[in-house]
Structure 1
Amino acid sequence: MLGNTHIVGGITASLAFAQISNENPIVLVGAGVVGALLPDICHSGSKIGRTFPVSSRIVNKLFGHRSFTHSLLFLFLVAILMDAIVPYRSLIIGILLGMASHLILDMGTKKGVKLFFPIKIAVRFPITIKTGSKAEKMIFAVLCMLSLYFGYEIMLDIVSVV
């Protein structure tokens, strides 16, 4: 999936979670965007890889693309690390939601992800799409509509409190 699809996926996941929680939706969404980009640190051509090129090259040399950073192990380790050093629950949850949305979206591609790294089995959905295809553009559009829906619901909740 392309970076923009991952960003909207992180936003959608964060806004959906905000519907059922008391977490700060603004923090959730901002963190969700960061989390949605984080797993692609292993790819130097990604948005986050271009932002942190040295880190990206190191991670790619050590693990390759869509392996460790696209696994449940990485998600778990990030959760433990953030729980130890980040004092804001909404920030932690948002990043983890964004990361989870990234993994789910990449499971919809032909290559899939090494979800159970270090086991080298690729996990993907039975029906996959090509990155950048019309099908991905449709997924992007659906995620945008869901984000608008969830965002509107949150805005109504905020306005009703005021």
Structure 2
Amino acid sequence: MQGNTHIVGGITASLAIAQISNDNPLVLVGAGVIGALLPDICHGGSKIGRTFPIISKMVNRLFGHRSFTHSLLFLFLVAALLHAFMPYESVIVGLLVGITSHILLDMGTKQGVKLFFPINMSVRFPLTTKTGGKVEKVVFTLLTILTLYFSYELISQYVHVI
């Protein structure tokens, strides 16, 4: 999936979690967007790869694309590090939700992901799409609609409180 789809996926997932959590929704969504971009640090042409080119090149040389940073191992290591050093629960939840949304979206591509890294096995959904293709545009549109819905629901909760 492309960066914009991952961003909207991170926003959608964060807003969905915000419906059922007591986390600060703005922090949750901001961290969700960062988390949704983070796994592509292994790809020099990605939004985050272009922002941090040296780190991106190092990660790519060590692991390749859609392997370690798209795995459960990466998710668990990030979770452990965040719980050890990050005092803000909303940031932790948002980052982890964003990373999870990224991995799930990339499982919808033909290449899939190395979900069980270091085991060299690609995992993908039965129905896949080409990155940047027409189906991805449909996914992007559906995620945008869900984002609007979850935003409306969240705003409605705050309006009723006031």
If the TM-score is normalised by the length of the shorter chain, which range does it land in? over 0.9
Secondary structure in structure 1 of the residue aligned to 2:112: coil
The equivalent residue for 1:72 is: 72
The equivalent residue for 1:45 is: 45
Does 2:54 match 1:61? no
The equivalent residue for 2:136 is: 136
Q: Which amino acid aligns with 2:72?
A: L
Q: CA RMSD in A?
A: 0.4
Matches of 2:21 and 2:67, distance apart in 1: 31
Q: Which amino acid aligns with 1:21?
A: S
1:9-158 maps to which residues of 2 (within 5 A)? 9-158=9-158
Deviation at 1:27, TM superposition (A): 0.6
Matches of 1:21 and 1:83, distance apart in 2: 17
Deviation at 1:100, TM superposition (A): 0.1
Matches of 1:20 and 1:66, distance apart in 2: 30
- TM-score when scaled to structure 2? 0.99
Q: Which amino acid aligns with 2:54?
A: V
Q: Which amino acid aligns with 1:68?
A: F
Deviation at 1:129, TM superposition (A): 0.1
Q: Which runs of 5+ in 2 are unaligned?
A: none
Deviation at 1:160, TM superposition (A): 1.1
Q: Which runs of 5+ in 1 are unaligned?
A: none
Matches of 1:150 and 1:134, distance apart in 2: 25
Deviation at 1:58, TM superposition (A): 0.2
4+ runs deviating over 6 angstroms: none
- TM-score when scaled to structure 1? 0.99
Deviation at 1:22, TM superposition (A): 1.0
Secondary structure in structure 2 of the residue aligned to 1:82: helix
Matches of 1:146 and 1:15, distance apart in 2: 9
Matches of 1:43 and 1:72, distance apart in 2: 18
Q: Which amino acid aligns with 1:12?
A: T
Q: How many residues align?
A: 162
Deviation at 1:38, TM superposition (A): 0.1
Deviation at 1:136, TM superposition (A): 0.2
Matches of 1:85 and 1:159, distance apart in 2: 34
Seq. identity, %: 70
Matches of 2:132 and 2:114, distance apart in 1: 21
Secondary structure in structure 1 of the residue aligned to 2:129: coil
